[in-house]
Amino acid sequence: MWTEARIILINNRIPGGPEAILGPAGCGPDVAVLDQEGNFTTVTLDERDERLALLQTLLKERGLRCSVRRRDRFTDEELQSARLLVVEYDTNATVFAGPMMGTTYDMSDACPRCGAGARQTSAIFIDGEFLPRLEGRRAATTSHDDVLVDEKLAAALAQSGATGLSFRDVFAAFEERGFRIPWRQLCAAHTMPPMSPRSTGIEVSEPCPCGRSCFGGKEEIPFRLAYRAADLADIHDVNVTWEWYGIAGFTGDLSASVLPYPLFLVTPKVRRIFQAAGVTGFDWIPIRVVDG
């Protein structure tokens, strides 16, 4: 494992352009990538790389603020040996879904303030305007971290005997109509116990009295979800967290609400099936097993 440090530079805010910073810091095209529009430069380094501190110093000397996003990177061997993996997807490729699009939920056991614990009762409805984002993909996620796969990948997962897994249909919703598309939503039967307090890189934006919602990541600290060894006794191949993430916007009227959502946790078996299908765009983060 190594920890990646990423800084995004806004090019037009740097006197003399990004090269005035990147050159003296020794950051060449091996670590600095210009976006297609030429507006931003993303610098990606090992956090132990001496160039990181030098780059930060040069930016500070010029009165430029920068944040460093840190995330752990893993070898294939580490991913294969993990007890569970957090499923993370490229947020720029998600599709919008949820109660606003017509998906229904049972709220009888949900928190009346934030909606955490809502139980989906229908097929999932996604915004039809986002359908182009699914083109050429085998798997994707929604804005609420629901995992979607095409029917061929769904069949492979079903045939694998993966435990704790069920499927729901996926519909594309438009203003006046909706229709089923050849995709399936992955659903988990098992909810994990609350995470260990030794988890790091996690914060609560707007705490709810239920203590279950509005969790999120802290960019400057790597996200490290930890569980006690005893918490893993009843895990399935597909699980969700007890904690719900994202910003809660539950109004009491589901059609005008944004619900928080649990994270999807899977075993390496599920990751291998995704890999065999050529799925890209996903990151897999091993959980940590701790004492206490």
Question: Residue-wise pLDDT tens for the chain (292 aa)?
Answer: 999 999 999 999 999 999 999 999 999 999 999 988 889 999 999 999 999 999 999 999 999 988 899 999 999 999 999 999 999 987 777 999 989 999 999 999 999 999 999 999 999 999 999 999 999 999 999 988 999 999 999 999 999 999 999 999 999 999 778 899 999 999 999 999 999 999 999 998 888 999 999 899 888 999 999 999 999 999 999 999 999 998 877 888 888 888 999 999 999 999 999 999 999 899 999 999 998 6
List phi, psi (to 5°) of 35: -75, 165
What single string gives the DSSP state of each residue in 216-260? EE-TTS--B-EEEGGGGTT--SEEEEEEEES--B--S-GGG-B--
Every domain of the chain and the residues it spans: 2-73, 76-290
Tokens 């438009």 -> residue: 174
Task: Say what angle helices 268-276 and 151-159 make with each other, to 10 degrees.
Answer: 140
Query: What span, in angstroms and rounded, lies between the C-alpha atoms of 227 and 193?
Result: 8
Fold of 2-73: Alpha-Beta Plaits (3.30.70)
